Amino acid sequence: MARPSRPADIPGLPARRAALRLLDAVLRRGDPLELALHGAAQGLPAADRALVHAIAAEALRHLPDLDALIDGATRQPLPNDAKARMVLRIALIQVLALGTAPHAAIATALPLVDGGPRKLVHGVFGTVTRAAPALPDPPTLPEEVAARWEAQWGGDMPAAAASAYGVRPPVDVSLRHPAETADWAEKLGGESFAPGHVRLPDHASVTELPGFAEGVWWVQDLAASCPARLLGTGGGRTVLDLCAAPGGKTMQLAAAGWQVTALDQSKKRLERLSENLARTALAATIVQADLRQWEPERQADAILLDAPCTATGIYRRHPDVLHRIGPRQIAELAELQAELLSRAAQWLKPGGTLIYATCSLEKAEGEEQLEAFLRQNPGFSLQPAQQGELPQGICPDPEGWLRTLPDTLADKGCTDGFFVARLARAAQ
């Protein structure tokens, strides 16, 4: 006689349990999704790890809409951190976004309740799925995020952000040799918006495309390529690429003829940078250090500071930031950025150029940061970006800096949200 099935025997249960741990790490502890994945899915096969990531990421992308469905099927709202709500989010997103059959989703959900209200979870799940709902397209932004962005950018911005959120982000690549742009756009079947750029066709398998193994190009969002573009060609001059990993800007600068010193605090991310340099046959001096404690031996001709930030500008690829980031995190990181910017400015030669950039949609990490720096450092001035230096469809702000928003290149698949300012130090 066959023994009864135990929870540990249910196919797929370990992956769903890991997804629950991952979602809890993001929503309750505020951990970044990508960093928390390692611990949550430790020991699982690669395919299961991918499933864990997909469940958690899609649940985060559609969290307000999932919660609306759950609340519509309960007489009294469940607390946001209640395990029953977390389990229902995981079960429902599999059915509504990942194509899992309802019976399979609930079979791997109920054991996760661990002595909790299994009857409630089963009942709510059945009520929702029998109604055959569809998740809104585009997804609904968290209310506090939409309100914050509306206050900063106006009433149209949250709608544009939601629209971009519902579209799979395109894959851009930067070329080692910009002169070969037309040839590689044709070989890759993509579209170019600037020298040294190709936007790949949808669903392209990056590592299998021509030129990847040979190091002809690397993946880099179009907006993320703009900071290095504003430095132009190096001609053998020196540049400090601060907070450099995983190395897209480092490779751009090296390919443009700069002598690059790439600094980052993360050993793991620097290992990836080294791998990228080896693949592309580009050279840079790599330094692992805390920028708050490190000092260069001599001043540099140029500095690129891609400062640590909230990363709300890459919310399309990292939906966890919309649930982890609030006023406190923005204020803390803005304080760190001011410290790093002030410190880096001392390392620039007179007459040199400093690029300040963040992948943030928060003015405190961009426009307000720049204005405060210029007030406190009269020896620096804004060197306005020019249209001819930037990709098609990306325009400098009338004030001279660069700001990409969710509606930038909306007809071409959008870009990440970035702020970039080019500063010149007065010659002495």
Q: Please give the positions annotated as active site.
A: 359
Listed residue (88, 123, 124, 127) closest to 108, CA to CA: 88
Cα–Cα distance between 54 and 45 in angstroms, integer? 14
The two three-digit tokens of residue 299, written as one number: 């001043």
Distance set, CA 36 to CA 21, 31, 44, 233 (Å)? 9, 6, 14, 39
| 3-state SS, residue 25 | helix
Q: What b/e readout covers 65-83, taking b as 16+ CB neighbours within 10 angstroms?
A: bbbebbeebeeeebeeeeb
Preceding amide of 64 cis, omega within 30: no
| 300, 239 Cβ separation under 8 angstroms | yes
Q: Is 223 left (phi over 0), alpha (psi -120 to 50) or beta?
A: alpha
Structure tokens at 113: 């309740």
Q: How far apart are CA 230 and CA 198, in angstroms?
A: 18
Pairing of strands 259-264, 285-288: parallel
All residues at 6 or more sequence positions from 234 whose CB lies less than 8 Å from its CB, including other chains: 253, 256, 257, 258, 259, 302
ω before 246 within 30° of 0 (cis)?
Answer: yes
Give dist(CA 196, CA 349) in Å, integer: 28
Q: Are strands 238-242 and 300-306 parallel, antiparallel or unpaired?
A: parallel
